[in-house]
Amino acid sequence: MDGADLCYTPALELRRLIQTRALSPLELAKVVLERIERLNPVINAFLTIPSDLALEQAKAAEARVMRGSPSGPLEGIPYSVKDLEPTAGVRTTYGSKWFEHNIPSEDGAVAGLLREAGGILLGKTNTPHFGYKDMCDNLLGPPCRNPWKPDRTSGASSGGAGAAVAAGLGPVAQGSDGAGSIRIPASLCGIFGLKPSFGRVPYHPNADYWAARSHIGPMTRTVRDAALLLNVMAGPDPRDPLSVRCPPEDYLAACDGSLEGLKVAFSADLGYAAVDPEVRSIAERAAGRFAELGCVMEAPAVSWPDPREFHKIIYEVAMAARLVDRARARPDWIEPTLQRIILNAGTVSAIDHGKALLARSAFYSAVRQFFETYDLLLTLAMPLGAWSVEPGPDEGPREIGGRPAPTMFDRLSFMYPFNLTGQPAATVPCGFTSEGLPVGLQIVGRPYADAAVLRAAAGFEVLQPWAQHRPPLG
């Protein structure tokens, strides 16, 4: 196969070729690195590309394969790590001027697991300043662009990861998701992204373990590649006090099996979300196909409250608590939209913040009751296609489907509810707009039902495959 075909080959197939010695890990790494060198200046998916380290790791993987002693399930497989995850000896910026030259001495929990599994670290993917928003720009360099239309955003905060996987710059990527940050770019870039159940994948180091909102998970072109990556990532870690203590399932095996008889709800707006009519139509048609998989489909009215206002308080206060001192010291190193978040948080009283946390608990109870009736919920992922890549004080569209959308939270109506509840949620590509922009369908499961979400996604992938579609990058 030619270089582009190799770069778009699923990780599971690459693993088979490597294990049978039909493919050299070193040659694979060289091909992918050459593609990164050519395309990264176009889309800016990577902030740091440690080519020498990648080639060194590939040589070591090849030696282990040749002597029949692979180190783990990712032996020789190229992967990327979001630049919010520390990587020992490799620059980790957090998308921040304060950490522009930061070289950690230790891996984060997931970076360490990926390294131990024998994977080849291609680089650190682009992210906004501490992952604060749904567009992938920062003050370190050019914004990350959408491979399908480079004048559009990739989404964020795992925007570099989404763009890299979509562009064939590595088959698998690590992402993180505090208000949609895996699922947003997965939807806008046309790949698969999974936010596992909260705590299923350890998150260490973490400035605020007890916020119980951020999830780490896989971003890939195929569902089974995500399951392969989740098998490596998942499991307890005593450094993360909220990591799930029971052992994880075999997520690759979970992709097989029937969906016959599952009770599945579809909601086009959750009762409150603004939605572009074309995107809604594409997602509705895709959701209807789950009946072909034997699911019992319903479209109930969603009765839980709109969490926008109390989520905004929780989110902005948490972000401001981390960054307010730096913002005071160097306001020129803080983006206008981030500065606005910090200023907004300064107007919130402790009582109002406490009430927002109480509202989160009530919201969880309402969603939990909904899932006593339904095994899965299908929604749109993003309510619109990718918008302009240009950052600014009022970035992003001001309306969606004819309704006002004054803040980014109005674009994320289907995303952050399931960070508030901690449930597993995945986005699968389900079509393209008339502009040729990807559209995603979200699959949400009951708490800790990661296997059911993966099985549903794998079933949909058989009915309506997407990995054959490639952005027009060459």
| pLDDT tens digits, 363-374 | 999 999 999 999
Q: Across residues 426-440, what is the average pLDDT?
A: 98
pLDDT recorded at residue 474: 75
Assigned domain for 317 exists: no
Cα–Cα dist 219/41, whole Å: 21
Cα–Cα dist 288/227, whole Å: 24
User: Active-site residue 80, yes or no?
Assistant: no
pLDDT recorded at residue 391: 83
pLDDT at 58 over 80: yes
Give the number of domains in the chain.
1
Q: Token digits for 331?
A: 């306001």
Continuous H helices in 135-222: 159-166, 183-189
User: Active-site residue 303, yes or no?
Assistant: no
276 pLDDT band, cuts 50/70/90, is very high
Cα–Cα dist 357/333, whole Å: 30
24, 154, 158, 181: which is the annotated catalytic residue?
181
Question: pLDDT by residue (tens digit) across 21-44?
Answer: 999 999 999 999 999 999 999 999
Q: Across residues 233-261, what is the average pLDDT?
A: 96
70 pLDDT band, cuts 50/70/90, is confident
Cα torsion through 285, 291, 295, 297, rounded to 10 = 60
Q: Across residues 269-288, what is the average pLDDT?
A: 98
pLDDT recorded at residue 136: 98
pLDDT recorded at residue 275: 98
Query: What is the separation of C-alpha 93 from the centre of its chain, rounded to a whole number of angstroms?
Result: 18
Q: Is 394 exposed, middle or buried (0-12, 13-18, 19+ CB in 10 A)?
A: exposed
pLDDT at 196 over 80: yes
| Cis-peptide into 205, omega within 30 deg | yes
Assigned domain for 265 exists: yes
Q: What is the DSSP string of 268-299?
A: SSTTT----HHHHHHHHHHHHGGGGGT-EEE-
Question: pLDDT by residue (tens digit) across 300-348?
Answer: 999 899 999 999 999 999 999 999 999 999 999 999 999 999 999 999 9
pLDDT recorded at residue 392: 75
Beta pairing partners, 217:
175
Q: Across residues 399-416, what is the average pLDDT?
A: 96
Assigned domain for 118 exists: yes
pLDDT at 212 over 90: yes
pLDDT recorded at residue 394: 76
Q: Across residues 260-270, what is the average pLDDT?
A: 98
pLDDT recorded at residue 2: 83
Assigned domain for 27 exists: yes
pLDDT recorded at residue 126: 99
User: Active-site residue 181, yes or no?
Assistant: yes
80, 157, 187, 413: which is the annotated catalytic residue?
157
Among 123, 132, 211, 192, smallest CA distance to 160 is for 123
Assigned domain for 316 exists: no
180 pLDDT band, cuts 50/70/90, is very high
Q: Across residues 418-433, what is the average pLDDT?
A: 98
pLDDT recorded at residue 318: 98
pTM beyond cutoff 0.95 = yes
Q: What is the mean pLDDT of the chain?
A: 97
Residue 437's CATH number: 3.90.1300.10
Question: pLDDT by residue (tens digit) across 103-114?
Answer: 999 999 999 999
**Domain extent at residue 385:** 3-310+336-463
Check: CB of residue 456 under 8 Å from CB of residue 376: yes
pLDDT recorded at residue 393: 75
pLDDT at 405 over 80: yes
24, 80, 82, 124: which is the annotated catalytic residue?
82
Among 345, 387, 375, 389, smallest CA distance to 451 is for 375
Question: pLDDT by residue (tens digit) across 128-160?
Answer: 999 999 999 999 999 999 999 999 999 999 999
429 pLDDT band, cuts 50/70/90, is very high
356 pLDDT band, cuts 50/70/90, is very high
Assigned domain for 248 exists: yes
